Amino acid sequence: MKTHPLRSVLFVCLGNICRSPLAEGVFKFVLEEQGKAHGVVIDSAGTNGYHTGEAPDERSIAVAGRYGIDISGQRCRQLKAEDFVHFDLILGMDRANVAAIEARRPPNATAETGLFSAVALGENNQIPDPYYGTGADFERVYLMVLKASKGLSNRF
Ligand code: 4NP
């Protein structure tokens, strides 16, 4: 684990339309609030490519918007090998995401990888997939992402 301040993070979920776009937008917002966003690269990706090129799910756009964060300009992309050398940190939302990240790790990888809540808070909580859920599930995901983002900001 690097002890100096990190400069880049990639948030990863399955589809890159529900959870990781929220994490990208919320973490950017948290770092901006703390005056630490300058020069930090924050991005998100999915382990599958089903929604490549699409905007985030409208329910994620809506919950972020209720808290004053606009994620509507983001576009879905799939996790790629170069990400493992371009980013300091690659974080999965749940354990299946982390397993999929590890399965794609190339031999030259330098990125630290792990579960978002574990790396950010030392908690072994997963951020659950809300895709087949309700608005309340998206709200819960937002609050979990906000809490973890505040924890993660201590390393930036
Ligand atoms: P996400 O949610 O991983 O939080 O973006 C999902 C979105 C779409 C699908 C799965 C999960 N999908 O299979 O289409």
Which CATH number goes with the domain that contains 47?
3.40.50.2300
pLDDT digits (tens, 9 = 90+) for 47-62: 999 999 999 999 999 9
Distance, in Å, from the CA atom of 151 to the CA atom of 153, rounded to the nearest integer, reads 5
In a domain, 1, yes or no: no
In a domain, 28, yes or no: yes
Predicted confidence (pLDDT) at residue 79 exceeds the cutoff of 70: yes
Distance, in Å, from the CA atom of 100 to the CA atom of 112, rounded to the nearest integer, reads 14
Pocket test of ligand 1: the residue of 18, 20, 26, 48 to mutate, having most ligand atoms within 8 Å of its CB, is 18
In a domain, 2, yes or no: no
**Catalytic residue at 94?**
no
In a domain, 106, yes or no: yes
**Catalytic residue at 19?**
yes
Burial of residue 128 (number of CB atoms within 10 Å: 0-12, 13-18, 19+): middle
In a domain, 117, yes or no: yes
In a domain, 118, yes or no: yes
Predicted confidence (pLDDT) at residue 92 exceeds the cutoff of 70: yes
pTM for the model stands at 0.97
Predicted confidence (pLDDT) at residue 1 exceeds the cutoff of 80: no
In a domain, 3, yes or no: no
Range of the structural domain that residue 34 is part of: 8-155
In a domain, 89, yes or no: yes
Number of domains, the chain? 1
